[in-house]
Structure 1
Amino acid sequence: MRKLARWHIWLGWLAAVPLLIWLGSGLFMAARPIEEVRGEALRRAAVPMPLSGLVLPREPVVATKLALVDQRGRPTWIVTDADGATGRYSARDGLPLGPVGAAEARELVAAAWNGTAALSALRRFPRDAPPGDLRQSRPSWQATFADGAHLYIDADSGAVLAVRTRWWRAYDLAWGLHIMDLQTREDSSNAFLWLFGTLALAMALLGAALLFRRRRTATGRRA
């Protein structure tokens, strides 16, 4: 029992830091509703569109996904192929539409934004160097607002890729700490998590065994 107690103490020291990280990050992530973290209220709802008179893309395309969206009052087809590449076509005449330029990006941002903060900056990012909070390898326009929120527009299709608030970025950091993956923040089965999780479980099991033994000893003495 003395050896078990000694192991329990040493494991407690080793597991103390990850346990504090898990508890602290978990409490932080529970501090705000997930809808507020995602900024769902900052994104304007989709506008209903009449389907009469619409035509399919005229060019021969092989698509895995075809979506009809409203872009500045213009019905638009967003076509996604098997490689994940996207393009857009007018749903009125079926002709292809080019990439989104800066002027159109501003208009698309204004049409999608439902917040009260003013637009403070607009910047384009290439596919191979996306901003850290986008979490997608897509060419994009990043709209930065006065309250720190980001709204991303796909530079190829004009679709809204994501809304990122300050709370989302803090939540994302807390999630990375919680799963012990600060690089991609997606690997919830990494070696560090398994190691410290195993240590914490062993510490808890040893503590339970010690507690049960002490209760039995105390009961025997009273008898």
Structure 2
Amino acid sequence: MQLAFWVRRAHKWIGLVIGVQALFWMISGLYMVVVPLEVIHGDHLAHVPTERLNPGGRRVPLGRLHEVYPGITSIRLKNLLGKEVYEIKQGKQANLVNAADGVKISPLDREHIVALAEAAYVGEGSIRGVEWVTKAPREVGSRPVPLWAVHYDEPGKTTLYFSPHTGDLVARRHELWRWFDFLWMFHIMDYEERENVNNTLLRTASITGLLFALSGAWLLFYSFTRRKTA
């Protein structure tokens, strides 16, 4: 049958084109189901300690804060290394202010960041370096810089990223996460930003894979029907 000949040929060439990408899909998919997501996120390496606020603590009145820091869009009271601080946001800009006297304490210096890292880190390594980051590495994505990067000397090569303006732990990165990110790039076929799951290349590959599966299914059905009529 002429149709079967062309379907078989198309199935073969489509398989050659899509086969490598299908292999990457299976390898990356296997990694994603074998390694738990909470491990990828680094939840086992660092946590954010929570401390209760002191209901009777002496604090600067909020009205005074609005006078000293005009244009405030939000205020949050929190604990930072055992001391109460206000996290003040003025548009996109954030700062930390000592809740007791209203003195600005951000950007946090290296000593503060090391103390925050030691309070958050629950792994088995020790700090091998603290880096002031002004150009965001790919692994922190679009998070605003500058950042403090605390690197640990352990097999997973853990790095904790802290905001100097809020003291928040904004990212946990380690080798399992980096492998996940690398395989995710192949999985979604976005080789630049590694974020766009609706890119043209992925759509094309998906449609090609569907054609491969449909042509294979047709050939299977055709082979059975041909045997019955033989």
**TM-score greater than 0.5 by the shorter chain:** yes
| TM-score, normalising length: structure 2 | 0.86
Distance in 2, matches of 1:214 and 1:196, equals 27
Q: Which runs of 5+ in 1 are unaligned?
A: none
Note the aligned Cα RMSD (angstroms).
1.9
> Which residue of 1 is the match for residue 11 of structure 2?
8
Match of 1:174 among 169, 176, 183: 183
> Which residue of 2 is the match for residue 185 of structure 1?
194
Where does structure 1 differ by over 4 angstroms across 4 or more consecutive aligned residues? none
Q: Where does 1:96-115 land on structure 2 (aligned, <5 Å)? A: 96-115=104-123
Instruction: Report the Cα offset of residue 92 of structure 1.
Output: 2.9
Q: Where does 1:115-134 land on structure 2 (aligned, <5 Å)? A: 115-126=123-134, 129-134=135-140
Relative distance call for 1:180 and 1:46 in structure 2 (3 A) is: same
Instruction: Report the Cα offset of residue 66 of structure 1.
Output: 4.2
Relative distance call for 1:28 and 1:154 in structure 2 (3 A) is: same
- Maintained 8 Å contact 2:106/2:164: no
Q: Where does 1:62-73 land on structure 2 (aligned, <5 Å)? A: 62-63=72-73, 66-73=75-82
Distance in 1, matches of 2:78 and 2:175, equals 28
Using the aligned pairs only, state the percent identity: 26
Distance in 2, matches of 1:81 and 1:164, equals 29
Aligned residue for 2:166, secondary structure, equals: coil
**Deviates most, 13-22 or 46-55:** 46-55
> Which residue of 2 is the match for residue 86 of structure 1?
94
Distance in 1, matches of 2:147 and 2:89, equals 16
**Deviates most, 172-181 or 89-98:** 89-98
Instruction: Report the Cα offset of residue 39 of structure 1.
Output: 1.4
Number of aligned residue pairs: give it. Answer: 217
- Maintained 8 Å contact 2:133/2:149: yes
Are positions 1:142 and 2:149 aligned together?
A: yes
| TM-score, normalising length: structure 1 | 0.89
